[in-house]
């Protein structure tokens, strides 16, 4: 019997087995990106598991993971390729006598300069060959002999002009090096792009991708994540932790605690031998969850409400 179109099937199970517990919608988006051979653009706040999904997909699919961390000023020499100039200079020095002999003995007269230029051009071709090509993550993914997962992380941190460099790669799985021609992918990579929405991405980039919104997980899924990553924590303590973190995120904080920080707090509570979370313990360990002084002050002033048995702060929708 054919599985429903929105059923991600074994992929969701493989992701869960690798330690990542996706929503049905997110697992379906990943399945479609693979089936349709399209890049997947993950958009959402920092700390919701966008980068971890790429890592988990690589583990689940048994593929190597390549990562390109984006930042302001990123250009093709760091993202696509560059020439190994130090190696070229070394070869030039080692072959200096050969180069001199090649250019020596040229006839004098009107054609001497043109002949010398032709000889130099022939040598230039040898120095701009694959021997001296340094492949950065994008070109490395295109030239890979086996399928890979290429994570293009925080693409919104790069300049808008950088997006133009991605278009050929994402649309055609190809990269053009002027001196060598166009490289086409032997096997299609899985491209996963992430954005924290710090700036608007261009329509051209968005059109080439499938899009998935990623937010903080609902409590039941975050509980499964915490239990899966910190099996030593008790069910009751993990549930209290998830509820406390959910309430923290509902405050207007500079940096709400991420899923990774929930997991780290769970580990800290296990290390401390905690069986419950009281006001003193929460205050002493807030530094695991919150990394800004004003966030800690705001949380400490609300600890009684945050630790109340009945929910007092509306949770974020996922």
Average pLDDT over residues 199-217: 95
Q: What is the mean pLDDT of the chain?
A: 87
Residue 192 CA to residue 151 CA, distance in Å, equals 5
Residue 268 CA to residue 65 CA, distance in Å, equals 29
Between 184 and 89, residue with greater pLDDT: 184
- In the predicted structure, residue 187 carries a pLDDT above the cut 80: yes
Residue 162 CA to residue 140 CA, distance in Å, equals 18
Pairing mode, strands 149-153 and 174-177: unpaired
Average pLDDT over residues 106-124: 60
Could you report the per-residue pLDDT of 241-254, keeping only the tens digit for each? 999 999 999 999 99
Residue 70 CA to residue 93 CA, distance in Å, equals 36
Residue 79 CA to residue 100 CA, distance in Å, equals 36
Confidence of residue 316 (pLDDT cuts 50, 70, 90): very low
Closest CA to 268 of 240, 287, 255: 287
Average pLDDT over residues 253-272: 96
Could you report the per-residue pLDDT of 155-177, keeping only the tens digit for each? 999 999 999 999 999 999 999 99
| Segment among 91-100, 152-161, 263-272 with least mean pLDDT | 91-100
Helix (H, G, I), strand (E, B) or coil at 57: helix
Pairing mode, strands 65-69 and 149-153: parallel
- In the predicted structure, residue 231 carries a pLDDT above the cut 70: yes
Confidence of residue 102 (pLDDT cuts 50, 70, 90): low
Confidence of residue 87 (pLDDT cuts 50, 70, 90): confident
- In the predicted structure, residue 314 carries a pLDDT above the cut 80: no
Q: Residue 256: how many CB atoms within 10 A of its CB? A: 22
Alpha-carbon separation of residue 279 from 32, 282, 285 (angstroms): 46, 5, 10
Is the whole-model pTM more than 0.95? no
Confidence of residue 178 (pLDDT cuts 50, 70, 90): confident
Average pLDDT over residues 166-192: 93
Q: For residue 134, list its beta bridge partners.
A: 82
């Amino acid at each position: 019997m054919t599985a429903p179109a929105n059923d991600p099937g074994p992929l969701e199970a493989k992701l869960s087995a690798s330690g990542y517990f996706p929503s049905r919608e997110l697992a379906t988006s990943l399945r479609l990106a693979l089936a349709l051979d399209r890049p997947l653009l993950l958009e959402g706040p920092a700390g919701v598991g966008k980068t971890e999904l790429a890592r988990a997909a690589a583990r689940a699919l048994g593929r190597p993971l390549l990562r390109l961390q984006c930042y302001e000023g990123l250009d093709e020499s760091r993202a696509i390729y560059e020439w190994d100039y130090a190696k070229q200079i070394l070869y030039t020095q080692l072959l200096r006598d050969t180069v001199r002999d090649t250019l020596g003995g040229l006839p004098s007269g009107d054609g001497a300069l043109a002949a010398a230029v032709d000889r130099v051009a022939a040598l230039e071709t040898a120095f701009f060959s694959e021997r001296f090509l340094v492949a950065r993550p994008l070109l490395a993914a295109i030239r890979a002999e086996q399928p890979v997962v290429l994570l293009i992380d925080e693409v919104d941190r790069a300049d808008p002009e950088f997006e133009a460099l991605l278009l050929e790669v994402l649309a055609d799985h190809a990269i053009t090096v002027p001196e060598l021609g166009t490289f086409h992918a032997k096997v299609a990579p899985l491209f996963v792009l992430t954005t924290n929405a710090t700036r608007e991405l261009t329509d051209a980039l968005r059109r080439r991708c499938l899009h998935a919104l990623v937010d903080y997980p609902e409590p039941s899924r975050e509980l499964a994540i915490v239990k899966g990553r910190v099996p030593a924590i008790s069910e009751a303590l993990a549930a209290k932790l998830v509820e406390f973190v959910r309430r923290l995120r509902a405050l207007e904080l500079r940096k709400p605690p991420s899923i990774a920080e929930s997991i780290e707090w769970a580990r800290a509570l296990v290390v401390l031998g905690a069986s419950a979370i009281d006001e003193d313990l929460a205050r002493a360990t807030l530094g695991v969850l919150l990394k800004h002084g004003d966030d800690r002050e705001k949380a400490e002033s609300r600890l009684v409400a945050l630790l109340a048995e009945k929910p007092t702060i509306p949770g974020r929708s996922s």
